[in-house]
Amino acid sequence: MVTVSTLKLDKRTYHHGDLRAALIDAGLAGLESTGPERISLRELARTVGVSPTAVYRHFPDKQALLAALGCEALRMLGEAQREASERAGGGIEGFGATGRAYVRFALSHPGLFRLAIAHGPAAVDLASEDDEASRLLVAYAAELTDGSPEAVRRLSLQAWSVAHGLAMLMLDGRLPPDDAIIDEVISERTLFPRPPGASP
């Protein structure tokens, strides 16, 4: 959260104070209850108590607003994953835990998750990303392989794909959002049967 939620001053002030932060806060709140497609620029402005076009003083576009929300959502996702990783104590269990946290975050915050993925900054190289989620991923992949770039890359991509695919399939209703399925699919034991790095 941005913790600037009480910035909606009373109406007597012509200027708002920090409209940008208020809009992002309202957007994050709205994303908790509906999907990204259904949040409206005008309604956001309404809840903040401002005219629709005032938004354009802070974001050139609706897309830009969504992108800002996406960045914040991505940060929250990474934070959830880091907590899960620390709780699991690192190692291969930590790796699995971050994957399961990825899916659980998607299920409990569908709007935020969708926006984090769909409207985040376009990624070029996974290794050079600067968000916490990506950092965690490649760090674990390096730890659990021989460290060669190819191995790190492959494990990162495969792990991310599994977690993301499961999350999206559940969000889109193609698979039931069942906790047991998460544990079944994202399992260090069955997914990567020979712990990488153990044997050459």
Q: Contact positions toward DNA, by CB under 7 A?
A: 13-17, 19, 39-43, 50-54, 56-58, 61-63
- Nearer to DNA by C-beta: 56 or 192? 56
- Nearer to DNA by C-beta: 41 or 137? 41
Residues from 125 through 164 that contact its own copies (CB under 8 A): 126, 153-154, 157-158, 160-164
Q: Is 166 one of the binding residues for its own copies (CB under 8 A)?
A: yes
Q: How far apart are CA 22 and CA 25, in angstroms?
A: 5
DSSP the chain: --S-GGG---TT-SS-S-HHHHHHHHHHHHHTTS-GGG--HHHHHHHHTS-GGGGGGT-SSHHHHHHHHHHHHHHHHHHHHHHHHHHHTSHHHHHHHHHHHHHHHHHH-HHHHHHHHHSSPPPS-GGG--SHHHHHHHHHHHHTS---HHHHHHHHHHHHHHHHHHHHHHHTTSS---HHHHHHHS-HHHHSSS-BTTB-
Q: How far is the CB of 33 from DNA (least distance, A)?
A: 14
- Nearer to DNA by C-beta: 51 or 199? 51
Q: How far is the CB of 48 from DNA (least distance, A)?
A: 9
Q: Is 71 one of the binding residues for its own copies (CB under 8 A)?
A: no
Which structure tokens are listed for 2?
């941005």
Q: Is 64 one of the binding residues for its own copies (CB under 8 A)?
A: no
- The one of DNA, its own copies, none whose footprint includes residue 106, by CB under 5 to 8 A per kind, is none
Instruction: Report which residue type is found at 170.
Output: M
- Nearer to its own copies by C-beta: 1 or 123? 123
- Nearer to its own copies by C-beta: 12 or 124? 124
Residues that bind its own copies (CB under 8 A): 37, 117-118, 120, 122-124, 126, 153-154, 157-158, 160-169, 172-176, 181, 184-185, 190-191, 193-194
